[in-house]
Amino acid sequence: RPAPVETTYCAEVVAGTYQAMGLLAGDRPTNYYDPGKFWSGDALKLLGGARLGAEIRVDVPRGVNW
């Protein structure tokens, strides 16, 4: 059943977004996916020839409060 995005696990949001964009098949529920599926070393099958690229490092300066 659909859940509000505010209470949905991060990987479910990504999976739902990819499904809505036509990049990920809808044969599995979004809660099947965990964050480890969305890195370049996994064999996540994307549609239309899409693929995940290498990770991009993000450095957050000390003292920055989110």
Residues 3-23: tens digit of each pLDDT? 676 778 889 999 999 999 999
Higher pLDDT, 66 or 45: 45
Query: Tokens representing 36?
Result: 């480890």
> How far apart (Å, rounded) are the C-alpha atoms in residues 38 and 22?
16
**pLDDT value, residue 52:** 87
At 23-60, the pLDDT tens digits run: 999 999 999 999 988 887 788 999 999 988 888 999 98
> How far apart (Å, rounded) are the C-alpha atoms in residues 19 and 60?
30
